[in-house]
Amino acid sequence: MSDSTTAPLPAAVRWQGGSLGHLVLLDQTRLPLEVTFLSVFDIETLFEAIRALRVRGAPAIGIAAAYGICLGLQPLFAPALGANRVQSDNGQPDSAVFFERLEQVRSYLAASRPTAVNLFWALDRMVARARQLSARSEPSAIFESLFAEACAIHREDVATCRAIGRHGAELLPDGASVLTHCNAGGLATAEYGTALSIFFTAQDQGKRLHVFVDETRPLLQGARLTAWELMQRGLDATLICDSMAGQVMREGRVQGVFTGADRIAANGDAANKIGTYSLAVLARAHRVPFYVAAPRSTFDFNLPDGSQIPIELRDAEEVAEIRGQRVAPVGMRVYNPAFDVTPAEWITGIITEYGVIQPVTADQ
């Protein structure tokens, strides 16, 4: 049994330097053909990176946004980083100016994508930390504390994913064959992923495992990202088109489905990448357990059920084209919801860093 046998993959999100440093994102739109990094010095570039899915996956979006708060506040403290510096006589930005800018940055980044609640969770945690310190600290000290908070959000996600992996791996017998959708791996988090952390942990424990990977139309996060990640870590995996999942289950090739989530309502209804709901229905029809893996930061207890989860609608080109190549007739109407909601009753269990919620009900 080994702790971890493979070299670490490049981080999806990295911060370079101290509080006046910058973000480095692994550009996931270029994977798997190119491993390229994007240096991000301002919130406008970060906004575009989140919207274009250069950085994606609920926890990774939250981590990037937390650092984004620091990027957005930097011009108040470093003259070279921005022209609009408003300081009082002691060289500090005025507290009102600081909090006004903080609110602007929060609102701006919050508009980048609507469904993954980790984005709002991280932004709100940053703002709450600043408010907590407002009575006793100068803006520059609050800024340093916010940088520490972003680093903590990043660091905590590593441990959270490992804990999800440990709890989930208990559900996997040696020799299991499972199916996953989209990418809920290291590329979507700080390190090991949520659903994929379960597979990596089982692998670390010496269990043999086979993973079917849904290609995940329209943007192919399964074919491009999960397939790449599993291959990099030496996991035995097979790629299928989304429409093949039913046949694969019918042939008895899958003993469990494991996906991530972008937002889980108080009753356990879970939003995840479009196609997840169909998989849950198929899994029920074939008596295959269907598990969702997600951290506490993906739960939205303000929403009683999944009907109120905002579903992101994305551009028609993502469906009418494949990797920039037109496949549908020009002028064809397209509907492109990026997520769907799986009702709690179709979910066998939700694997969190605290353990497995099973059955999935509002009481858990």
Euclidean distance between CA atoms 85 and 75, whole angstroms = 7
Which residue in 25, 63, 184, 264 binds ligand MRU (CB under 6 A)?
184
- Tokens representing 281 are 């229905």
Query: Going by C-beta distance under 8 Å and a sequence separation of 6 or more, which residues neighbour residue 254?
Result: 177, 178, 179, 212, 248, 286, 288
Q: Which residues pair with 115 in a beta bridge?
A: none
Which residue in 22, 25, 40, 57 binds ligand MRU (CB under 6 A)?
57
Which residue in 105, 229, 273, 341 binds ligand MRU (CB under 6 A)?
273
Please provide residue 3's backbone torsions phi and psi, each rounded to the nearest 5 degrees: -75, -60
CB of 100 to ligand MRU, least distance (A): 30
H helices of 134-194, in order, are 139-169
Q: Does 352 bind ligand MRU (CB under 6 A)?
A: no
For 44-104, the DSSP string reads HHHHHHHHTTSS-SHHHHHHHHHHHHHHHHHHHH-GGG-S---B-TTSSBPHHHHHHHHHH
Q: Does 53 bind ligand MRU (CB under 6 A)?
A: yes
Q: Which is nearer to ligand MRU, 19 or 340 (CB)?
A: 340
Which residue in 14, 22, 54, 56 binds ligand MRU (CB under 6 A)?
56
Binding mask 144-183 for ligand MRU (x = CB under 6 A): --------------------------------------x-
Contact 93, 76 (CB under 8 A): yes
Binding mask 248-267 for ligand MRU (x = CB under 6 A): -----------xxxx-----
Q: 304: cis peptide before it, omega within 30°?
A: no
Q: Which is nearer to ligand MRU, 59 or 93 (CB)?
A: 59
Q: 32: cis peptide before it, omega within 30°?
A: yes
Q: Which is nearer to ligand MRU, 45 or 74 (CB)?
A: 45
Active-site residue among 204, 214, 242, 262?
A: 262
Name the closest residue to ligand MRU (Cβ).
Answer: 260
The kind and range of the H/E element at 25 are: strand 22-26
Q: Does 272 bind ligand MRU (CB under 6 A)?
A: yes
Binding mask 206-245 for ligand MRU (x = CB under 6 A): ---------------x------------------------
Q: Does 338 bind ligand MRU (CB under 6 A)?
A: yes
Active site (annotated) includes residue 236: no
Q: What angle do CA 221, 110, 149 make, to 5 degrees?
A: 95
CB of 165 to ligand MRU, least distance (A): 12
Euclidean distance between CA atoms 127 and 308, whole angstroms = 24
Q: How remote is the C-alpha of 268 from its chain's centroid?
A: 18
CB of 105 to ligand MRU, least distance (A): 21
The catalytic site residues sit at: 262
Q: Which residues bind ligand MRU (CB under 6 A)?
A: 53, 56-59, 116, 182, 184, 188-189, 193-194, 221, 259-262, 272-273, 338
